[in-house]
A = this chain, B = another copy of it.
């Protein structure tokens, strides 16, 4: 048969995607059964409210008319949006329910960025966000993350020098991977820069509810600005598999985000929304009870892993136990130890983690000297065994 048209090239949208490397598609998905995996920010099944979810589902499905199985609004179902709005302290009209935190970021990227725009991002950075940015073929301006989160002074300097990002991406609380948090005063400075230079802050906040020490930083600077999209999710608290999250938008951006969403997948599952709304509203204390159990577990695991690292590889790592979240970010102290070889040796010993070299968004960090160790879904005995294996991997180079 004669083909009358030349083969079409792929759309520019698709052409801009690069193959995943390092922290790629599969790291969170396929499990290696013979190894202890400290790879992903995965909540422990023991602190997910499975029985309560089953009961909430039964109640929701028993309602006459089974509205949970029917179409619903793009913005989300009222009961869930109202719960979220109350918890965030914002007007319900600003809440858009999403299919999880990453989806919220993807919607922000697509609703705000023109193709080829410049976006300032954490350095080091949550690598999957850079893949999300490929939806807008965006250029990246790395901004250092220090002990107080995104370095606002460096950002201000780059802006003064003439950089004009369309957006700034940061994880403001328990930064992924480095675990620092952006203080409230710095949040105000960030927002002031956003309003002065006209960019939008994408504040990616999945770990906020997992604080197990100290007080959370304020969200008010974010919520009071019309230059911030606050991205959150039930992923780390009720389970990634729900694929349920939300974004708080400035009112001026709501219509565009809703218009985009309505053209992509209409709305998040009414069924999942109704089950979670029932779970959260039928027992007003349930969510905080779930969080209480989770925080205690993760605090205990964080300390267990930090202690075991020091016991099994004395002096090898500089470890700061974070105030919350799901990761340790130890630094290899000994300059003689090659971090890539360490990761390979650790894998051979039967422990898998994300090497720090996967996380820089540009030069100028020591991320490649770090290890990101996820402790959320591994019990203390296995964390200690993981530390022993890591200790043996360290010993191979000592």
Contacts and interface: CB of A to CB of B under 8 A. Distances in A.
A57 B61 CA distance: 11
Looking at A69, A112, A135, A136, the one whose CB has the most chain B CB atoms below 10 A away is A69
Nearest to A63: B50
Copies, count: 2
Interface stretch (A11-19, A202-210, A385-393): A11-19
A264 B106 contact: yes
23 contacts: A8-B166, A13-B110, A13-B260, A17-B259, A29-B73, A42-B71, A45-B66, A45-B70, A54-B57, A54-B62, A68-B241, A69-B238, A69-B241, A70-B241, A71-B241, A99-B266, A99-B268, A103-B266, A131-B262, A241-B271, A244-B269, A265-B265, A269-B272
Interface stretch (A80-88, A190-198, A294-302): A190-198
B131 A263 contact: yes
Nearest to A26: B73
A72 interface: yes
Interface string A358-392: 00000000000000000000000000000000000
A267 interface: yes
A92 interface: no
Interface of A: 1-14, 17, 25, 28-29, 40, 42-43, 45, 48, 50-51, 53-54, 57-58, 61-62, 64-74, 98-100, 102-103, 106, 110-115, 131-132, 134-136, 164, 166, 192, 195-199, 238-244, 256, 259-260, 262-272, 274
Given A3-B198, A260-B14, A69 B54 contact: no
B136 A11 contact: yes
Looking at A8, A111, A260, the one whose CB has the most chain B CB atoms below 10 A away is A8
Nearest to A58: B54
B256 A271 contact: no
Given A11-B110, A11-B114, A45 B71 contact: no
Contact of A262 (B25, B64, B68): B25
Looking at A1, A6, A64, A102, the one whose CB has the most chain B CB atoms below 10 A away is A102
Given A25-B74, A71-B29, A243 B265 contact: yes
